[in-house]
Structure 1
Amino acid sequence: MATVELRFSAQPEHVRTARLVAAAVARRAGVDEAVLDEVRLAVGEACSRAVGLHRSHGITAPVSVALTEEEKSFSIEVGDEVPGPGAEPPPGAGLDESESGTEVDGEDEMGLAVISGLVDDVEVRSGINGGVIRMTWPRTPAPVLP
């Protein structure tokens, strides 16, 4: 099992780089070419969501992306450090005055809906240390040479 890890500051301009890296690693891992656009779009949406959550909650920690090649699948985990519902926010963190909780929640739900429409196997976890979106795609088996 091979894993590529990427961490970037919560800035929107870094999302494009994460998409490009994800597509390149997915291609190398054997994900079907026809699915690579979905990989790019889903990773872009998940990273944009994480960046938005970090910025709206005043969290300066980086967004993390783990791209893992397994025997029959390829998975990507995008992690944020925003505590889940019911968890105490970190000291000094809070919503920017320009954004209301309703707007952030609506964008969050929309982002998750887009990801769910692009990826068949999605898992969303949230806890006191932040959240993770895990997306998994099947790998195309390598051709058997005679």
Structure 2
Amino acid sequence: MTVADDAAGVRVELTIPAQPAYVSVARLAILGIASRMPFTYDEVEDIRLAVGEACTHAIARVQAADGAHPNVRIVCTVEPRRLQIEVIDDAPATEAPEAAPEASPFDEAQLGGVLIRILMDEVEQRTDPETGAHVLRMVKHLLR
């Protein structure tokens, strides 16, 4: 795990093997990070659940790509009024570049995609133009 402090806030990065057994490690790490902020217990649990679903999806993408990209990165940026979490995998894109920006690489009809959108305040996915990595960005705002 890497921790850095910059103008955007405190950044914590965790890299886990793309194996389902390590989703619990990501959930525990995010639990510790979110608990340091003034979120309610329910909000912390929502964040933990959303990160678990995002990691599960990223691992499935990596495994579908023959496991050539064996890790998933979780990057958390702690800011005064919000927590931003990016779940990043390097599996090749599964969509054509012409796909609509609102198209999601995870099936919205599946429980995981629906849960992530319900539990977090902002959710966006993109392909990093420099690395080609798939990035699922989630934000939870402090409402107090």
What TM-score, normalized to structure 1?
0.75
Aligned to 1:132: 135
Q: Which of the pair is proportionally richer in strand?
A: 2
1:19 matched residue in structure 2: 27
1:98 aligns with none
Distance 2:92 2:63 in 1: 13
Give the unaligned 5+ runs of structure 2: 1-8, 98-104
Work out the number of aligned pairs and report it: 122
User: CA 1:127–1:68 in 2, change beyond 3 Å: closer, same or farther?
Assistant: closer
Q: Which has the higher contact order (CA 8 A, sep 6+)?
A: 1
Distance 1:45 1:10 in 2: 13
Gaps of 5+ in 1: 88-106, 142-146
- SS of equivalent residue, structure 1 residue 29: coil
Partner SS for 2:77: strand
CA distance in structure 1 between the aligned counterparts of 2:35 and 2:128, rounded to whole angstroms: 31
Q: Which residue of 1 aligns with 2:85?
A: 76
Q: Percent identity?
A: 32
For 2:50 and 2:134, how far apart are their aligned partners in 1? 16
* Corresponding position of 2:74: 65
Q: Which has the larger radius of gyration?
A: 1
User: Are 1:49 and 2:57 counterparts?
Assistant: yes
Q: CA deviation at 1:122?
A: 0.9
Tell me if 1:108 matches 2:118: no
Identify the residue that residue 102 of structure 2 maps to in structure 1.
none
Report the structure, 1 or 2, having the larger helix content: 1
User: 45-54 or 113-122: which moved more?
Assistant: 113-122
The 1-side partners of 2:92 and 2:140 are apart by 27
1 CA distance for matches of 2:50 and 2:14?
16
- Superposed CA deviations along residues 7-34 of structure 1, whole A, max 9, x for unmatched, are 0110000001101110110111332322
Q: Is the 8 A contact 2:69 2:90 kept in 1?
A: no
Post-superposition offset of 1:62: 0.9
> Where does residue 31 of structure 1 map in the other structure?
39
User: Would the aligned equivalents of 1:74 and 1:138 in 2 still touch at CA under 8 Å?
Assistant: yes
